[in-house]
Each structure stands twice: as C-alpha cells, then as structure tokens.
Amino acid sequence: MKRKTRVLVVDDSAFARKVLREVLSREADIEVVGIARDGLDALEKIAELAPDVVTLDLLMPNLDGVGLLRSIAGRPSPRVVVVSTAEQDGELAVDALQAGAVEIVHKPTSLATARLYELSRELVEKVRTAAIAQLELVDAPDGPPVAVAVERPPVRPRVLLVGASTGGPQALTRLLSALPADLPVPVALVLHMPIGYTAALAARLNGVSPLEVVEASEGMVLRPGLAVLARAGFHMKLVRDGDREVVHLDVAPIEAQHRPAVDELFLSAAKTYGAAALGVVLTGMGEDGLQGARALAAAGAWVFTESMSSCVVYGMPRAVAEAGLSTRTLPLSAMAPALAALFAPATPDR
C-alpha cells in the first residue's frame, strides 16, 4: 500500500490552521502529522516529525516563512508549499520561491472567514505535486557553467519562448541570469503562478538578469534584449501588428487548465513566427507545452527541453521529449550557454 504524504501545517492563524488541516485530512493519500504556529515552532516540528511537505504561511512572528526556508536550506528537508496572501506578501512569496519553495497557493484572505475553503482543490493538487518534487538535484545550481556545442537551426530564430511550472522561479532565475545582455532576440516567458505574483517576480528577475525583464502588458512591442513574463490570469499570445510583433493578453481559451498556458504562447508563436521561433520547456508538472511544441515542430521550429537531472518535477519536459518533439535535451546549467551559442553571430566555420 502506498505510503501517505505526511504534511505539517504552519500558520500563525488558528482558523487557517484548522481549515488547512481539515482540507488536507479529507484526502486518503495525505496525513496531517502536525501543526505549527510560527517558524520557530515549525523548525522543532520538522525535526520531530520529519514531514514530506510543509504548507507555509509567510507573515508570522518570531521567524517568518522565508526565514524558515533559509534555516532548513542545505540539509535534508521537506518540500514547501507557500500559502500566501498576494496583496500583503507578494514580494515575500517571490523570496520564498527563490529560497526553495516548490509551489505557491493564493490564500483568498488573511481573515478568519469561510473563503479559505476555496483553496482546497488547488492546495491538495500542489501538495501532491510537491511530494514528488526532487530536492537533491544532480545538476547543482552552484555547479560550473557547461559548454555545449549546438547546431544552428535551418531558419535563424527571431524569438525565444520559455515555459515552466513547478520549480520554475528558480529555473528562470538561473536561466535569465546566465543569458547574455546582447541576446539578439526578445524572450517570452510563461510560468504557472497565481494572480498577484508575476509583477513581483518580473521585478526580481530584472534585478538578476542582464536582460530587461518586465511583466506583460497589452500591445507591448517585442524587441531584442527584452524578456516579457506573462501576467497571471491571462494567456500571453504573440501576434503581428503591421511590421512588428506585439503581446496580446487574452482570457480565451477560458477552459485551459492554466492561465497563462505555455501551449497558448507556443501556438501563437508558431502562427506568427513559424520556423523562426525557438521553444524551451523547463521543469514542471503535467503536459502544458506539449500541444504547442507540436505546432512549433510542424512549423519547422526547434524545441529544447530540460533534462531530468535538473528538473524539480520532470513532467512538462518529459511529455515533449517522449513525444519525439525535443530537438535537444539539456540540464539547466547547459541551457543558457547553448542558447547563447545558438544566437551568437555566425562565423565562416559554423
């Protein structure tokens, strides 16, 4: 019989602890092994109970959520799902994701109301995803850069498309910080995040990347050196406006599992750029990006996928690779060098 996922609930609100415990305890494959009132209490409970997953509030007395993450970094530790109120702690949530949290759930309100029950389905799904996430990655973030020889595609790409989900904030941080400032194409980024967090993440990525990183807005003109992060709640589509390519934000298709969806970005780019697009699928749960990768491949464009060694969850890249749509599979440490080499000015011997 499969072992249940052991969860520790950490929140300074007694009502929030009650709701989260009730929601998770309804699931046959999840066991809530304890609760903690703040970060210091959580440190003791983690050592005592050895949970698989921690649901973590961020704004707490004594030791906040980010402080807890930093305290357990670098040693065997549970996977962390942040349960956050974007209006109050969006920047803290970004800190938490970059400090090692693998998922984030938007808490409808910080007040003691029944609206907290609205997060039940999302919370359960993300706890399950966190339970299978890799923490000890073979491709370590502090490893040396990996040089990779990359063939050039038949058509020189004019846009770089990147999609990610679970583990995506850390992966995007590593990728964007390693791309060259003179990258000759725009970059379009889709990451599965709740509404209210993408502006803070874009600002944080802008601070570590040689490129200019901004949250997407309607009609934004794409240009070399600009990386555009899709706004949560909207699909980001790349469309032609006269002789230029621009961002179009759209809620349709409304039935998509994720909004923004990697598929919608890739599908629009296949239509607008054809073979002159290059897709990259990074760590993430599920198959978002598979349909779009098919469209890119049919248009003659290349698709790179992240290898299992560096993925927090090897789901999205695996779906593309197993469908035979991946031109190259690379660890994250090799992705930026490979892209830089591919986009570098051609020389006679290439």
DSSP 8-state secondary structure symbol assigned to residue 53:
E
Specify whether 168 is located in the same domain as 122: no
For residue 87 the two structure tokens come to 């209006």
> How long a stretch of residues is the chain?
350
Specify whether 290 is located in the same domain as 163: yes
CA angle in degrees (0–180, nearest 5) for 51-137-98: 75
162 with 175: CB under 8 angstroms? yes
Specify whether 166 is located in the same domain as 289: yes
218 with 247: CB under 8 angstroms? yes
Answer yes or no: is 148 within a domain: no
Q: Which of 288, 307, 310, 326 is catalytic?
A: 288
Domain endpoint, select from 112, 131, 150: 131
pLDDT for position 233: 96
pTM: 0.92
Specify whether 118 is located in the same domain as 241: no
As a whole number of angstroms, the distance between CA 263 and CA 236 comes to 10
pLDDT for position 350: 44
153 with 271: CB under 8 angstroms? no
pLDDT tens, residue by residue, 254-263: 999 999 999 9
138 with 209: CB under 8 angstroms? no
Angle between helices 120-131 and 14-25 (to 10 degrees): 70
Q: Residues 79-94: what's their mean pLDDT?
A: 84
How many alpha carbons fall within 13 Å on the CB side of residue 43?
Answer: 15
pLDDT at 110 over 90: no
Specify whether 119 is located in the same domain as 169: no
CA angle in degrees (0–180, nearest 5) for 316-231-330: 30
Query: Annotated catalytic, 309?
Result: no
Q: Which of 13, 41, 64, 192 is catalytic?
A: 192
Least confident stretch, 23-32, 88-97, 125-134, 293-302: 88-97
Least confident stretch, 204-208, 312-316, 341-345: 341-345
Query: Annotated catalytic, 165?
Result: yes
**Helix, strand, or coil here: 104?**
strand
**Helix, strand, or coil here: 196?**
coil
pLDDT tens, residue by residue, 244-296: 999 999 999 999 999 999 999 999 999 999 999 999 999 999 999 999 999 99
| Structural domain boundaries enclosing 303 | 159-343
CATH of the domain at 21: 3.40.50.2300
Answer yes or no: is 305 within a domain: yes
pLDDT tens, residue by residue, 172-228: 999 999 999 999 999 999 999 989 899 999 999 999 999 999 999 999 999 999 999
Which residues touch 167 (CB under 8 Å, ≥6 apart)?
Answer: 102, 133, 282, 283, 284, 311, 312, 313
Specify whether 220 is located in the same domain as 329: yes
As a whole number of angstroms, the distance between CA 42 and CA 36 comes to 5
Report residue 2's pLDDT band, with 50, 70 and 90 as the boundaries.
Answer: confident
Which residue has tokens 């938007």?
106
Give the DSSP H/E element, type plus range, for residue 126: helix 120-131
CATH of the domain at 332: 3.40.50.180
Domain endpoint, select from 131, 146, 178: 131
DSSP secondary structure letters along 134-159: -SS-SS-TTSPP-----PPPSS--SE
Q: Which of 165, 307, 310, 326 is catalytic?
A: 165
Specify whether 308 is located in the same domain as 171: yes
How many alpha carbons fall within 13 Å on the CB side of residue 136?
Answer: 3
Which residues touch 107 (CB under 8 Å, ≥6 apart)?
Answer: 16, 83, 84, 85, 116, 119
Specify whether 123 is located in the same domain as 170: no
Answer yes or no: is 137 within a domain: no
Which residues touch 62 (CB under 8 Å, ≥6 apart)?
Answer: 38, 39, 40, 41
Specify whether 82 is located in the same domain as 230: no
Specify whether 247 is located in the same domain as 326: yes
Specify whether 55 is located in the same domain as 181: no
What's the structural domain count of the chain?
2
Answer yes or no: is 147 within a domain: no
Sign, CA dihedral 84-88-94-96, equals negative
Query: Annotated catalytic, 288?
Result: yes
pLDDT tens, residue by residue, 129-169: 999 998 666 675 555 556 666 688 989 999 999 999 999 99
Report residue 344's pLDDT band, with 50, 70 and 90 as the boundaries.
Answer: confident
Specify whether 263 is located in the same domain as 320: yes
DSSP 8-state secondary structure symbol assigned to residue 242:
T
Residue 57 backbone zone (phi > 0: left; psi -120 to 50: alpha; other: beta): beta
pLDDT for position 272: 98
Answer yes or no: is 270 within a domain: yes
Report residue 89's pLDDT band, with 50, 70 and 90 as the boundaries.
Answer: confident
Percent of the chain scoring above 90 in pLDDT: 78
